[in-house]
């Protein structure tokens, strides 16, 4: 009797499924995967930074045409850079922030006009503890790299929002006093060197691990050697901008900078900005002073004690805070200052 071999039914179903599946060509061992442009760009940036003595750690932030990377300075780089080696003297280690600007994505006018002006104004400043220091810049066909101080605590807006998240209004008198005083020192330093910032806002006030101020972003800055010069370019961030700038009038940029840090002080103490966009477009300067609303917990004496330590354009500060109309003692105090501030 002939031997009959029966096919396993389970195997038959497997064979049917295999026959129904479309044929897939096996990838050759010599075939390369098409590189992802983003991955390729990241590798290029990583290699560029390594070639200049920086080992990238992570991305801190990213915009339309720029990224900010956290990097470690390699020992060989520290040995060659005196400013960096001084900062790393205690631990032998130093972290920096590297701003990476894509030359392909950024507007050409920015590369031609605005970036060189920003770097000239910022790099030519003498070193100051409350101004972000730029250690070096370098560029390739693809990118421009700006190496600067790393501020571990983010910016002032982050700090204010953190306190709001904790159901608090403002960051408190002690922190406001410290930060405002340091911000005024930074502003006095750049003003004494003939530089006006023109974009002072909470986001441009960085904080290091000790919550010490580092003023940054000189993108709208301008060199004004003569303090009597009036500027005409309207720039800055709307909510922090002085009325005369918004109205496209000629303005004293030293005084408009001071208006902006008055807004910053209000934000620190109250946990919010004094005006919204609708109010800014409707009101003139005097109407703004009348409509300032402070939190009930705010003490004008505390405000004054913070401000009087700065000695920088005191009249302007008091005006933005609405104090002159409320306290005649302050007016007498100003008269007795004998011109130690700029009006």
- Delineate the domains of the chain, giving CATH numbers in brackets: 37-149 (3.30.200.20), 156-335 (1.10.510.10)
pLDDT at 303: 55
pLDDT at 325: 38
pLDDT at 122: 96
Q: What is the mean predicted confidence (pLDDT) over 240-259?
A: 86
**Residue 265's closest CA among 330, 183, 331?**
183
**Of the ranges 79-93, 150-164, 327-341, which one carries the lowest mean pLDDT score?**
327-341
Residue written as token pair 């631990």: 91
Report, as residue numbers or ranges, the catalytic residues: 199
Q: What is the mean predicted confidence (pLDDT) over 158-163?
A: 93
Q: What is the mean predicted confidence (pLDDT) over 275-297?
A: 57
pLDDT at 285: 54
Q: What is the mean predicted confidence (pLDDT) over 101-125?
A: 91
**Residue 200's closest CA among 313, 303, 296, 333?**
313
Q: What is the overall mean pLDDT for the chain?
A: 78
Return the CA Rg of the chain: 29
- Residue 208 CA to residue 311 CA, distance in Å, equals 25
In this prediction, residue 340 has a pLDDT band, given cuts at 50, 70 and 90, of: very low
pLDDT score of 315 more than 80: no
| Main-chain dihedrals φ then ψ at residue 123, nearest 5 degrees | -65, -30
144 within 8 A of 52, measured Cβ to Cβ: no
184 within 8 A of 261, measured Cβ to Cβ: yes
For residue 161, the Cα-to-chain-centroid distance in whole angstroms is: 15
Instruction: Identify any residues that bridge with 206 across adjacent strands, giving them in sequence order.
Output: 155, 214
Query: What stretches of the chain show up as alpha helix (H) in DSSP?
Result: 9-20, 37-51, 75-80, 82-87, 108-109, 115-123, 156-165, 173-192, 243-246, 253-270, 277-282, 285-291, 300-307, 314-320, 328-335
Q: What is the mean predicted confidence (pLDDT) over 16-20?
A: 57
Q: What is the mean predicted confidence (pLDDT) over 240-260?
A: 86
Instruction: Identify any residues that bridge with 97 across adjacent strands, giving them in sequence order.
Output: 70, 148
- Residue 302 CA to residue 307 CA, distance in Å, equals 9
Torsion (CA) 35, 39, 44, 45 in degrees, nearest 10: 170
């Amino acid at each position: 009797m002939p031997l009959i071999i029966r096919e396993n039914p389970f195997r038959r179903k497997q064979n049917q499924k295999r026959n129904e599946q479309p044929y897939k060509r096996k990838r050759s061992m010599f075939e390369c995967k098409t590189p992802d442009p983003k991955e390729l760009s990241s590798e290029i940036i990583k290699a560029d930074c390594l070639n200049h003595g920086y080992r990238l750690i992570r991305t801190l932030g990213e915009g339309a045409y720029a990224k900010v990377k956290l990097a470690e300075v390699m020992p060989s780089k520290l040995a060659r850079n005196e400013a960096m080696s001084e900062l790393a003297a205690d631990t032998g280690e130093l972290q920096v922030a590297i701003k990476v600007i894509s030359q392909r994505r950024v507007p050409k006018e920015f590369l031609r006009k605005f970036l060189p002006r920003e770097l000239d104004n910022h790099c030519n400043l003498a070193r100051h503890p409350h101004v972000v220091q730029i250690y070096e810049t370098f560029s390739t066909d693809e990118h421009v790299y700006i190496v600067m101080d790393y501020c571990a605590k983010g910016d002032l807006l982050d700090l204010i929002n953190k306190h709001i998240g904790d159901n608090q209004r403002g960051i408190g008198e002690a922190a406001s006093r410290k930060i405002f005083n340091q911000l005024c020192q930074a502003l006095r330093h750049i003003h004494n060197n003939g530089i006006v910032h023109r974009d002072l806002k909470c986001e441009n006030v960085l904080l290091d691990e000790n919550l010490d101020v580092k003023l940054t972003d000189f993108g709208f800055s301008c060199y004004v050697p003569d303090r009597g010069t009036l500027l005409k370019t309207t720039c800055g961030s709307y909510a922090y901008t002085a009325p005369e700038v918004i109205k496209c009038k000629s303005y004293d940029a030293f005084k408009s900078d001071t208006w902006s840090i008055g807004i910053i002080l209000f934000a620190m103490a109250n946990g919010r900005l004094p005006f919204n966009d609708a109010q800014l477009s409707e009101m003139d300067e005097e109407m703004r002073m009348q409509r300032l609303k402070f939190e009930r917990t705010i003490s004008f004496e505390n405000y004054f004690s913070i401000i009087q330590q700065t000695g920088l354009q005191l009249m302007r500060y008091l005006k933005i805070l609405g104090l002159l109309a409320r306290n005649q003692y302050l007016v007498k105090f100003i008269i007795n200052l004998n011109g130690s501030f700029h009006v």
